[in-house]
């Protein structure tokens, strides 16, 4: 089915990077993280340049459904399990601050961003999900999140067996928000370049096919970090694919609803209907096709009278311990920084990351930054990362057997085809390519070779 956007996409254009240029901070990647950081640093009077491979917001941001919330469901469980109570509590506080920050930015955007303050509810849509809602309520109260039982189940458009509510959250149109921030950053002096895929990162230099940028600091905001091949970092991250569906003719509702289940469905209202999302699983994994079919059955069951007018897949980068990865890539080198791993919650995550990076770059102290460091250490790190590392090794080994499948240009892994999205996906590190081999998602930087025989084999 054709991609149909539910939000206005502002008509903006920026030049490609040509020739040699200089700046204080070079940001690679014009998604939510890169643009929010560009906006903040420019406000601080820094000389900033942002380089985007295609168009601003064309990555995970183009799938983002605009829920601005501190209701991160199972992510707090992961943080608590990995890094303990202090980290989980701090993370929830920072998420709440980030909501205020995003709302303030959206209000000052100068163009309509569809902002509304709303309640987020986590609902049990089947009786066996009720214990999960009770556990979540307990956990979130322990870490200071002001959740409360929903007494009348709100205006949930589908039957709900129990629900908790979190008030004063927000909804907005992410692409309008992102483009407004970019326009303000550009007005403030940030040089923005699009259609400029970065092909190489050298110390203090960003290189594209038609130009280069010298910078004292480089911040990589490309989702899965560009050209990253270090196993210790790769095992901190995974890419997950989610499917979106635009439905017309659903009952009217307000706020957002999250199903209390791993890989559950989330929904938000849009004019004339609803926008539904389901996490299908790790990008490139075998179960994705089946999960996509389950999603179709689920929304038909929830909304038998609704009409599907658009459906597509996008992916986002998840961190295995739940905390985003923000800060210097290396322990002793403060010249190359990253921001990624927002685990499906990049609106608040990008704001939080931009604030941390901004303070780091301005040399201000920030004790909380240690929980987010890409090379962070904590007592349970080995136990937390082991299952992911084993799964990655297994996927690499399994793919080595599938020699007839196309190879990813990142680390040579064999790929799988996802017919619902008409794209090839790497099950090890999550790069994605079109049927013809054009890059759809990093960490791969170069197009893949797909032979006519492989195209037929799909």
Residues contributing to the site for ligand FAD (CB under 6 A): 28-34, 51-54, 58-61, 63-67, 197-198, 221-223, 226, 242, 244, 277, 314-316, 340, 342, 344-350, 442, 445
Query: Smallest distance, Å, CB 208 to ligand FAD?
Result: 7
Query: Smallest distance, Å, CB 198 to ligand FAD?
Result: 4
Which residue lies nearer to ligand FAD by CB, 62 or 250? 62
Which residue lies nearer to ligand FAD by CB, 197 or 406? 197
Instruction: Provide the strand spans (E) within 343-438.
Output: 416-418, 423-425, 432-434
CB 90 within 8 A of CB 371: yes
Dihedral of CA atoms 168, 169, 172, 174 in degrees, nearest 10, equals 150
Which residue lies nearer to ligand FAD by CB, 142 or 446? 446
Measured CA to CA, the distance from residue 18 to residue 28 in angstroms comes to 15
Which residue lies nearer to ligand FAD by CB, 43 or 227? 227
Instruction: Provide the strand spans (E) within 10-139.
Output: 19-28, 48-51, 67-68, 116-124
Instruction: Provide the strand spans (E) within 322-363.
Output: 325-330, 333-340
Query: Smallest distance, Å, CB 178 to ligand FAD?
Result: 8
Q: What are phi and psi of 333, to 5 degrees?
A: -135, 115
CB 26 within 8 A of CB 51: yes
CB half-sphere exposure, 160, CA atoms < 13 A:
23
CA distances from 382 to 24, 81, 82, 167, 243 (A): 37, 12, 10, 36, 31
Query: Smallest distance, Å, CB 397 to ligand FAD?
Result: 27
Query: Smallest distance, Å, CB 21 to ligand FAD?
Result: 15
Query: Smallest distance, Å, CB 32 to ligand FAD?
Result: 4
Which residue lies nearer to ligand FAD by CB, 197 or 388? 197
Query: Smallest distance, Å, CB 36 to ligand FAD?
Result: 8
Which residue lies nearer to ligand FAD by CB, 115 or 277? 277
Query: Smallest distance, Å, CB 363 to ligand FAD?
Result: 24
Q: Are strands 333-340 and 211-220 parallel, antiparallel or unpaired?
A: parallel
Sequence-distant contacts of 269-274: CB under 8 A, at least 24 apart: 269/171, 270/6, 270/246, 272/248, 273/246, 273/247, 273/248, 273/249, 273/306, 273/309, 274/157, 274/246, 274/247, 274/250, 274/303, 274/306
Which residue lies nearer to ligand FAD by CB, 183 or 454? 183
CB 324 within 8 A of CB 342: yes
Q: What are phi and psi of 132, to 5 degrees?
A: -65, -40
Which residue lies nearer to ligand FAD by CB, 214 or 455? 214
């Amino acid at each position: 089915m054709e991609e149909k956007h539910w939000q206005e996409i502002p008509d903006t254009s920026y030049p490609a990077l040509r020739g040699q240029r200089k700046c204080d901070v070079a940001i690679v990647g014009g998604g939510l993280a890169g643009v929010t950081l560009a906006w903040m640093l420019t406000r601080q009077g820094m000389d900033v340049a942002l380089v985007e491979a295609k168009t601003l917001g064309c990555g995970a941001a183009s799938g983002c459904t605009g829920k601005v919330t501190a209701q991160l469901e199972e992510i707090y469980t992961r943080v608590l399990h990995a890094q303990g109570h202090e980290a989980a509590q701090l993370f929830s506080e920072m998420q709440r601050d980030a909501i205020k920050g995003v709302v303030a930015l959206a209000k000052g955007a100068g163009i309509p961003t569809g902002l509304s303050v709303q309640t987020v509810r986590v609902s049990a849509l089947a009786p066996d999900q009720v214990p999960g809602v009770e556990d979540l309520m307990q956990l979130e109260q322990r870490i200071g999140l002001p959740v409360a039982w929903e007494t009348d189940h709100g205006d949930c458009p589908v039957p709900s067996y129990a629900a908790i509510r979190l008030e004063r959250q927000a909804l907005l149109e992410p692409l309008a928000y992102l483009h407004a921030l970019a326009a303000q950053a550009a007005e403030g002096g940030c040089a923005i370049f699009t259609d400029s895929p970065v092909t190489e990162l050298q110390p203090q230099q960003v290189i594209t096919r038609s130009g280069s940028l010298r910078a004292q600091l480089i911040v990589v905001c490309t989702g899965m970090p560009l050209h990253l091949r270090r196993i210790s970092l790769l095992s901190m991250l995974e890419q997950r694919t989610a499917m979106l569906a635009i439905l017309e003719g659903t009952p009217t509702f307000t706020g957002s609803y999250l199903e209390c289940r791993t890989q559950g469905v989330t929904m938000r209202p849009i004019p004339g209907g609803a926008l539904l999302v389901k996490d299908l699983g790790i990008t490139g994994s075998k179960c994705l096709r089946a999960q996509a079919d389950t999603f179709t059955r689920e929304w038909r069951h929830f909304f038998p009278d609704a009409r599907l007018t658009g459906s597509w897949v996008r992916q986002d980068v998840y961190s295995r311990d739940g905390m985003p990865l923000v800060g210097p890539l290396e322990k002793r080198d403060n010249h190359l920084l990253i921001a990624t791993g927002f685990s499906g919650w990049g609106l608040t995550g990008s704001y939080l990351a931009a604030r941390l990076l901004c303070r780091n770059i301005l040399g201000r102290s920030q004790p909380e930054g240690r929980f987010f460091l890409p090379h962070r250490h904590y007592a349970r790190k080995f136990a937390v990362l082991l299952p992911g590392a084993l799964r990655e090794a297994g996927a690499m080994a399994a793919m080595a057997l599938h020699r007839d499948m196309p190879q990813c240009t990142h680390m040579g892994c064999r790929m799988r085809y996802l017919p619902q999205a008409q794209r090839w996906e790497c099950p090890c590190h999550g790069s994605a390519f079109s049927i013809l081999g054009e890059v759809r998602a990093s960490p791969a930087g170069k197009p893949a070779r797909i032979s006519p025989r492989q195209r037929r084999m799909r």
